[in-house]
Amino acid sequence: MNLKAIALNTFKEAVRNKVFYLLIVVGILFALSSQIMSMLTIGDKVRVLKDFGLAAINFFCVLIAIFTGINLVFKEIDKKTIYNILSKPISRSNFILGKFFGLALTLLVALVSMGVIFYIFLLISTGSFDIRIAVYFLMLYFELLVITAISVLFSSFSTPILSSIFTIGLYFIGHIVWTFNEFKHVLQDKAFEKIVAYSIYYILPNLEKLNIKNIIVLNTPLDWTLLMNSVLYAVCYISAVLILAILIFNKKDFQ
């Protein structure tokens, strides 16, 4: 299927980009420098190692997801390479999906390479092999896919500057939106406000539920039901965003 052709081509493009490699290398360097940070603390050094290292990998993968994503579709429209694709018998939805899956593959490669190196580093530093970190990476991957889908959405109709503002904004919102639960009791009696508020709450991406750093660092047991719920949430959310992107993209005239 020609969706695969687009996906693989997108992957090739991302991987031939120097900035991609730079981000991976810097991410790994930061993760490894967690060793220094851990020396500055009293008591639980392993905790600081994990906190700092996982945060570094998280941060740099998010950067890759956002900045590769927002350029993805925009560059094709801007450079008019998209004429060569859409004039062929390939549907517009296959184009968007191909771009998304290509980027998903790129992120997988980035995350796995950083993750494996960090795992080896942890093994050397602490002598223990924590399988739960793999679960953390899995949930992080879903969070990255949500961000990617959002950046592809904006990239299909907006310029890179606006796309990055919106995508970065939604990333931060995604990590704050859980606080809605803290004060939703204020809305008890106000029906209309309640509907509006809840709608906004449900539309915004809730990324914090995919963040299980706390659980990993504190060694609390994993609640598989909750994790399954979060994964399904992410899958549905990604699908919805991609469908929205396809709808918008389908209507586009390429002047």
Partner 1 sequence: MRKEVNMKALQIRNLKKSFRSNFLLKTYQILKDIDINVEEGEIYGFLGPNGAGKTTTIKCILRLIYPDNGEIEIFGTPHSQLASRKKVGYLPEHPYFYDYLTGKELLLFTGRLFSISPKESASRADELLRLVGLENKKDLKLRKYSKGMIQRIGLAQSLINDPDLVILDEPFSGLDPIGRKELRDIILSLKGAGKTIFFSSHILQDMELIVDKVGIIQEGRITREGKLSELISHSVQSYETLFSGLDEAILKEHKIQFQLRDRNFLVVSPGKEEANSLIQLITANKGNIISVSPIKMTLEDIFLKELK
Partner 2 sequence: MRVKLTIFLIILFLMVSYFQHQYDSRINYYTERETFVAIPSGKTLKILSFGYSNLMADLLLIWSIQFYSSYHLSNRYDYIEHIFNVITDIAPQYQEPYIVGSWIMALEKKDYKMAIRLLNKGSRNMPDEYLFDYEAAYYSYKNLNDFEAAEKLFKRASEKPNAPKLLARSRAHMVYMQDDLDYAWSLWMDIAKNAKTIVEKDAAYNHLYQIKYEKDKKNIVKQSKRFKEKYGRYPRDLGELLRAGFIKEIPADYQGNQYTYNPVNGTIKAVKEFRWKKS
Nearer to partner 2, 7 or 146 (CB): 146
CA distances from 183 to 140, 169, 175, 178, 198 (A): 27, 22, 16, 10, 12
The entry of partner 1, partner 2, none near residue 90 (CB within 5 to 8 angstroms by kind) is partner 1
Interaction with partner 1 in 235-254: which residues (CB under 8 A)? 251, 253-254
The entry of partner 2, partner 1, none near residue 218 (CB within 5 to 8 angstroms by kind) is partner 2
Interface with partner 1, residue 90, by CB under 8 A: yes
Nearest-approach distance from CB 46 to partner 2, in angstroms: 11
Question: Is residue 111 within 8 Å of residue 63, measured between CB atoms?
Answer: no
Interaction with partner 2 in 167-226: which residues (CB under 8 A)? 172, 175-176, 179, 207-208, 211, 213-214, 217-218
The entry of partner 1, partner 2, none near residue 40 (CB within 5 to 8 angstroms by kind) is partner 2
Q: Which of 1, 40, 131, 161 binds partner 1 (CB under 8 A)?
A: 1
The entry of partner 2, partner 1, none near residue 37 (CB within 5 to 8 angstroms by kind) is partner 2
Question: Is residue 36 within 8 Å of residue 53, measured between CB atoms?
Answer: no
Residue 241 burial (CB count, 10 A): 22
Interface with partner 1, residue 225, by CB under 8 A: no
Question: Is residue 75 within 8 Å of residue 159, measured between CB atoms?
Answer: no
Q: Which of 40, 42, 87, 124 binds partner 1 (CB under 8 A)?
A: 87
CA distances from 107 to 114, 131, 212, 219 (A): 10, 21, 19, 27
Interaction with partner 2 in 159-178: which residues (CB under 8 A)? 172, 175-176
Rg of the chain in Å (alpha carbons): 20
Find the angle CA(239)-CA(197)-CA(178) to the nearest 5 degrees: 65
Helix (H) or strand (E) holding 233: helix 224-250
Judged by the rule CB under 8 A, the positions of this chain that interact with partner 2 are: 37, 40-44, 47-48, 51-52, 55, 58, 172, 175-176, 179, 207-208, 211, 213-214, 217-218
